[in-house]
Amino acid sequence: MLTVLFAAPAPLWPKYEAPLAAAFTQAGLSVRMANPDTAPETVDYIIFAPGGPLTDFTPYRNARAVLSLWAGVERIVSNPTLSQPLARMVDPSLSEGMVEWVSGHVLRYHLGMDAHILGQDGIWRGALTPPLARERGVTILGLGELGSACARALAALNFRVTGWSRSPRALPAVTCLAGHGTLAAALAGAEILVTLLPNTPDTENLLNAATLAQLPRGARLINPGRGNVIDDAALLAALDSGQIAHATLDVFRTEPLPPAHPYWAHPGVTVTPHIAAETRPASAALAIAENIRRDHAGQPLLNLVDRARGY
């Protein structure tokens, strides 16, 4: 019998209770869920999401792993009490949701949908014919699980896709660049730029006045990754100057985005409330159960976090 602690905000438990029970049964695992009275030293695995009651992992000295419900782990990876292996969430449904959201917003910009959706004023705008996707340059910053899935999907739509990452990657029909020395080249061809980078010291303000200036004038920016990647003041200035024609932003340094933030009122910004990709309990529970099954069987955990890199 394995003891598993669900250490996440209380409102999540009713959503995960049944899916986790079903997933553990499907994986052939005998599990009892820990409660506040459970001795910490008896806990074998911890399912974690930020905002819950657990901030000190020290008492859970026998826990074999901490399994994150989130793809991003920046709010746990630097916890000094965390000594257990940490696995991030990689869930096919998470990737599907991100692909659908990114593809929709890329197509919005590519097809010039706003001119027709917002321009219901009796003017026949027949001259606004978009180029074909193969004539449009789209760059994706970050080729992890989500970025790679989006790159493949956009390449399948015939966009001219460039992917940029810290470490070398290889994807069919995608021009893959790696390392800071190639960032300028990745930006130079980005009529539409999608950022799916993790939150690390290396990505802090990566899109600043200097790098935004390396984009083609009138580029569009889509950020469903992490809010720290963008220097907000620099983006607002680039929007005001026309260097960036429009930005669709799903993530921010402070969430919810404060009502007085300039992004809300700026005509060149579309704000969405961190909805690009949501962890879905039914599929996330299967991913959690499979990782516990693997570890319990002596197999390597999937999606282990590299503490030095922060993801």
Active-site residues, by number, are 226, 274
The string of DSSP letters for 88-127 reads ----HHHHHHHHHHHHHHHHHHHHTHHHHHS--SS---TT
Measure the N-to-C terminal CA separation of the chain; round to a whole number of Å: 31
Residue type, 147: G
Nearest one of 114, 154, 149 to 133, comparing CA atoms: 154
Angle (CA) 229 234 239, round 5°? 110
C-alpha 263 chain-centroid distance = 20
Helix (H, G, I), strand (E, B) or coil at 212: helix
279 in Cβ contact with 69 (< 8 Å): yes
Name residue 60's beta-bridge partners: none
How many residues in the chain?
311
Rounded CA Rg of the chain: 21
- What are residue 31's phi and psi, to 5 degrees? -130, 140
Question: C-alpha distances in angstroms, 130 versus 35, 74, 205, 214, 222?
Answer: 57, 39, 32, 23, 19
49 in Cβ contact with 284 (< 8 Å): no
